[in-house]
Amino acid sequence: MNLGTVKHIGRFLLLIAIQVVILNQVYLSGYLTPFIYPLFILMLPFDVKGWVLLLWAFFTGLTVDMFSDTMGMHASATVFMAFLRPFIIRLISVKADFDAGSEPRVDNNGFFWILIYTSLLIFLHHTFLFFIETFRLNEVFNIIFRSLLSSVLSIMIIMLAHLIMGKPSRHRRS
């Protein structure tokens, strides 16, 4: 097992633990529900194969489902987000290819690129999740409102995590 795989497994375990132990207990006004676990999919390398990305997404969502008793809703929303990830990356990227093994990170892509990337995918994830949770078309405005509010909270937490997980700057000693 190489160092990259160990890093991804560690990140997976950390994000799932934060989601299950802390964030699954947070419900603000019935509309705000923060989710940090999609950050695992957001931070996978650009060159990860499509089927591997979808498999990781399914496993990530299914793990949250097992602890949340949500019967596959997180798995399906996370797979939906992972399916759209390559299209979103192509949509917002100026260059067509990225360095092998590089990850979407603030220090690699810049703060605003990461903010747009995260915002689009998290909003799509939340909208899909809340739609299948409610599963009524007459609730569409409520679903969009809830998705917007929860997305803003989740994006703030995820962007903070991006900044915390950024590579520390190396200072030269004189």
Q: How large is the angle between the packed helices 73-92 and 111-134, nearest 10 degrees?
A: 150
| Number of other CB atoms surrounding residue 136 within 10 Å | 9
pLDDT for residue 65: 94
Query: Contact 53/82 with Cβ under 8 angstroms?
Result: yes
Enter the tokens of residue 62: 């299914």
Our CA angle for 111, 115, 116, nearest 5°, is 125
Render each residue's pLDDT in the chain as its tens digit; 174 residues. 677 778 888 889 999 999 898 887 777 776 688 899 999 999 999 989 999 999 999 999 999 999 988 899 999 999 999 999 999 999 998 776 677 778 888 888 889 999 999 999 999 999 999 999 988 888 899 999 999 999 999 999 999 998 887 765 554 343
Query: Contact 81/118 with Cβ under 8 angstroms?
Result: no
Calpha distance 167→174 (Å, rounded): 21
pLDDT for residue 136: 84
The answer for residues whose C-beta is within 8 angstroms of residue 45's C-beta and 6 or more apart is 4, 101, 102, 103
- The pTM of this model reads 0.89
Query: Contact 127/143 with Cβ under 8 angstroms?
Result: yes
User: Where do the domains of the chain lie?
Assistant: 3-165
Count, in order, helices (H) and strands (E) of the chain.
7, 0
Q: For residue 76, which of 66, 61, 86 has the smallest C-alpha distance?
A: 61
